[in-house]
Amino acid sequence: MKLNQKWVFSFALLLGFSYLMQWQGAALKNSFTPMGIIHLEFAPTADLFQKIVQHWDIQTLRWNIAIDFLYIPIYTYFFQLTLALLAQRHRSKLVRQFGLLLKNAALLAFFCDILENTGMILSLTGAQSSWVYTLTNGFAGVKFAIIGINIIYILVSIPTLFFRTKQS
């Protein structure tokens, strides 16, 4: 499969799973948790975690976490492929290296998301230790920071597809 086809496939898969996550997780959004599962990911205490879960159907939550385990490699692959493609198009060596650093950081986001989901599962099964909530919250923060920076790099780099190419 050619690189362009891989990117189109990864983008289509990303869009499809993003829609699936939003559709399946819609029941987790209400007046108490307008951002859905994100509120649970950042719940710093057992008390808040339990208050959030009380507003939800547990089966819906479990399914959302299960689907997220499938979504994690999909968005990671998309970010790695996209960042590699865009990084090579920049003239500046520093900007190229930063793009490649972000490509590798997507793997860190992958592991943070796995650990974050594991923390939520532990909390759902009765782990009431404050360190579980602290780590889950921390892993969520690192994951979202990396993803946010990756998105900014991609959006800022899009014009390079049309106006600049790396000079050989």
Q: pLDDT for 43-52, tens place per residue? A: 999 999 999 9
Per-residue pLDDT, averaged over 31-48, amounts to: 94
Taking the alpha carbons at both ends of the chain, their separation in whole angstroms is 25
Per-residue pLDDT, averaged over 13-40, amounts to: 96
Here the tokens at position 46 are 């057992």
Confidence bin at 161 (pLDDT 50/70/90): confident
167, pLDDT greater than 60: no
Percent of the chain topping pLDDT 70: 96
Q: Which of 60-64, 87-91, 146-150, 154-158 has the lowest mean pLDDT?
A: 87-91
Helix or strand run (H / E) with residue 41: helix 37-41
129, pLDDT greater than 80: yes
19, pLDDT greater than 80: yes
CB 83 within 8 A of CB 102: yes
Residue 36 region by backbone torsions, left for phi larger than 0, else alpha for psi between -120 and 50, else beta:
left
Place of tokens 């009380």: 54
Whole-number pLDDT of residue 1: 66
Q: Which of 68-77, 104-113, 117-126 has the lowest mean pLDDT?
A: 117-126
pLDDT: which is higher, 163 or 60: 60
Compute the mean pLDDT over every residue in the chain, rounded to the nearest whole number.
92
Per-residue pLDDT, averaged over 80-89, amounts to: 93
Q: What values do phi and psi take at 29, rounded to 5?
A: -100, 125
Per-residue pLDDT, averaged over 59-85, amounts to: 96
